[in-house]
Amino acid sequence: MPEEQPETRFDFTRRSFLGQSGLAGGIVLSGHAADVARGEVQQETQNGDTGVDEDALVQLDIDQARLVQAMAERVYPSDEFGPGAVETGVVYFIDRQLAGAWGKGENWYMEPPFVNQFEDAIPNQGWQSNLTPAETYEFALEWTEEYANNEFGGSFLDLSTDQQEELLTALENDEPNNFRSVKPSEFFTLFRTNVLEGVYCDPTYGGNRNMAGWRMKRFPGSPGALGSYKELIGREGFIRIPPRSVEDDVESTGIETGTGSSESSNSSATHSHGHNHGPRYELESEQDDDAQESDAHEVDENAEGDTDA
């Protein structure tokens, strides 16, 4: 340890830039799509049905979206344990991701030559298709429906729950032989990942509607801009904190740094959610070193619904 404290010449301890604004990026959702994403427009159907609001779609057509929603519901079902892919808005999340930079594969290396990855590549070498994620969905959804018709005699949407699971398992195990360019298992892996992203992402991306995914995992989302758990990290017992999205941080700081590497920027969020900009958490009792705190602290200033299992 240095004997004397050196003179401070560069100060990174205070956030003098809090007053600044207009950094990079912004939140893109607006209008009807934003209302749907925020759960402010109720879908026509709930609880695992495959109703999709066509007006809220950007990239997928309504048939593709219904298929995505039905498949997503099998990957992350709605059940007595909590909401599933439908309630959390996964289809809208996937739709916007496909429409954005990620869907176009903008940060992927997509230079030729491409190999036939069924013969000339090993799985450990990763993605070798010339298809972007958006193109992959375009084709693979069609191939999935084709397979459903061939093997099960109907659209995926019309199959029983067991048959739908059977079909997804077949994809996972590379059983369909009508896929070209990507393997069924590669599409399934991509899809499964996207579904989990949609359930648990920041709600600004259209998924995790009402932060229902976070509530299930008792995850607080953002600790807040310049948020802190320093006083809590050493404590015994689970501390439940109501979830907070990045949009709340944007509003509380007046700073937009954007949420979308995969979105373009054109407007900031205009909705006021009436958020409390006070402390991120408030404990029922102050820390007592020898207190037995095996029960969860519940900090429930604005939680909606009980997510405890």
Interaction with other proteins in 130-169: which residues (CB under 8 A)? 165, 168-169
Site for other proteins in 68-87 (CB under 8 A): 74-77, 79, 81-82, 84
The number of angstroms, rounded, from the C-alpha of 85 to the middle of its chain's C-alpha atoms is: 10
The number of angstroms, rounded, from the C-alpha of 174 to the middle of its chain's C-alpha atoms is: 26
- Size of site (CB under 8 A) for other proteins: 94
Kindly state the smallest distance separating residue 116's Cβ from other proteins, in Å: 11
Residue among 91 and 239 whose Cβ is closer to other proteins: 239
Kindly state the smallest distance separating residue 246's Cβ from other proteins, in Å: 5
Which of 34, 36, 37, 201 binds other proteins (CB under 8 A)? It is: 201
296 binds other proteins (CB under 8 A): yes
Which of 50, 136, 181, 259 binds other proteins (CB under 8 A)? It is: 259
Q: Which positions from 219 to 258 touch other proteins by CB under 8 A, shown as an x/- string?
A: xxxxxxxxxxxx-xxxxx-xx------x--xx--x-xxxx
213 binds other proteins (CB under 8 A): yes
| Cα atoms in the Cβ-side hemisphere of radius 13 Å centred on 218 | 12
What is the amino acid identity at position 86? V
Q: What angle in degrees, to the nearest 10, is found between the helix axes of 133-152 and 184-200?
A: 110
DSSP state of 239: E
Determine the Cα angle at 264 with ends 57 and 252, to 5°: 100
Which of 6, 22, 274, 278 binds other proteins (CB under 8 A)? It is: 6
The number of angstroms, rounded, from the C-alpha of 28 to the middle of its chain's C-alpha atoms is: 16
Taking residue 143's Cβ as centre, other Cβ atoms within 10 Å add up to 18
